[in-house]
């Protein structure tokens, strides 16, 4: 009995040894070149998906240009890492336009994923007839409800009556947009409240300004101010105001392009460390125009 058991275990052990030897001697099914090719294909597939996600972001943002009556609107967003945490949006109803410009905390894919949520909130609560302070309050309530998962966000929300040239806005913790008057005076639009998602039941208020022919409004993200030259010096608010004075063109889109060119010249090839976004609202100096176009 013991001898039979011993022979059985010896036989099993020999089979295990032969199996192990067979496995170890089997050549690899995938060569090093095949592995490199596989990784390259996976990388290209990932880049393709990220590019598609970026295009979805752009579509959710809506039109990049809008022209109604005497007012022109233009915006652009450049992501530092595939997807952007910055957002711009134009929602139009009749003669009223709601614009949103903001920044979701963080960079890259995490911030980009939250963009979809925030875009949905703005489209749900952001009717052109809504008061910007009420929109900010609703978005803040939603983000606070999702804490600690949801990120903080800043936003400049403005409702523009294009017939009257009246702009009602709420600045929720965002860098104050620059209002460059036709006569060269500068105003910073600061009325609003704290950043979104930080304080439950935070109070937000709206401010109102009258736009006049020749006025230009510029909203921007921190990526613009923090753009550095080769020496590491930031672009800053003062330089941005000066650039806006010299960048003004006949259209909001042209003004935006000149601003971006000035920013690129200043960086002079230095890498972009944060998302960059700009929104330009321009009241035509010649207010006789009453055309209506959306691009």
Q: Residue 174's Cα: distance from chain center in Å?
A: 13
Could you read off the pLDDT tens digit of each residue along the chain, which spans 295 residues?
445 544 544 555 555 555 454 444 444 577 887 788 778 887 777 767 666 666 666 666 666 788 898 999 999 988 776 777 888 989 888 899 999 999 988 766 777 778 878 888 888 888 777 899 999 999 999 999 988 888 899 999 999 999 999 999 999 999 999 999 999 999 999 999 999 999 999 999 999 999 999 999 999 999 899 888 888 899 999 999 999 999 888 899 999 999 999 998 998 877 667 788 999 999 998 754 444 444 4
Q: Where are the domains positioned within the chain?
A: 50-288
Tens digits of residue pLDDT in 92-135: 888 999 999 999 887 667 777 788 788 888 888 887 778 999 99
User: 96 near 113, Cβ under 8 Å?
Assistant: no
CA 217, CA 205: separation in Å to the nearest integer?
20
CATH level 3 topology of 50-288: Phosphatase 2c; domain 1 (3.60.40)
Q: Where are the beta strands (DSSP E) in 141-284?
A: 153-161, 166-172, 178-180, 186-188, 192-193, 207-210, 216-220, 276-283
């Amino acid at each position: 009995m013991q001898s039979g058991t011993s022979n059985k275990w010896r036989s099993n052990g020999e089979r295990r040894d032969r199996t192990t030897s067979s496995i170890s001697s089997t050549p690899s099914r995938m060569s090093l070149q095949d592995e490199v090719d596989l990784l390259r294909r996976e990388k290209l597939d990932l880049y393709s998906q990220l590019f598609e996600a970026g295009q979805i972001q752009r579509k959710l943002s809506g039109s990049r240009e809008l022209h109604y009556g005497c007012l022109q609107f233009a915006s652009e967003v450049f992501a530092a890492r595939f997807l952007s945490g910055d957002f711009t949006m134009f929602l139009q109803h009749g003669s009223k336009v709601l614009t949103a410009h903001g920044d979701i905390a963080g960079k890259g894919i995490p911030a980009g994923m939250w963009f979809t949520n925030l875009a949905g909130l703005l489209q749900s609560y952001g009717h052109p007839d809504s008061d910007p302070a009420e929109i900010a309050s609703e978005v803040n309530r939603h983000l606070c409800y999702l804490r600690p998962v949801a990120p903080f966000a800043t936003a400049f929300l403005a409702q523009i009556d294009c017939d009257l040239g009246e702009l009602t806005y709420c600045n929720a913790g965002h860098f104050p947009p620059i209002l460059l008057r036709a006569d060269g005076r500068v105003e910073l639009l600061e009325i609003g409240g704290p950043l979104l998602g930080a304080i439950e039941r935070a109070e937000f208020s709206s401010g109102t300004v009258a736009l006049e022919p020749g006025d230009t409004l510029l909203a921007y993200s921190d990526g613009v101010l923090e753009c550095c030259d080769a020496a590491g010096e930031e672009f800053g608010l003062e330089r941005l105001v000066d650039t806006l004075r010299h960048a003004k063109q006949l259209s909001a889109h042209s003004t935006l392009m000149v601003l971006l060119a000035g920013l690129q010249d200043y960086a002079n090839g230095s890498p972009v460390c944060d998302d960059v976004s700009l929104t330009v609202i321009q009241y035509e100096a010649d207010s006789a125009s009453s055309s209506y176009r959306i691009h």
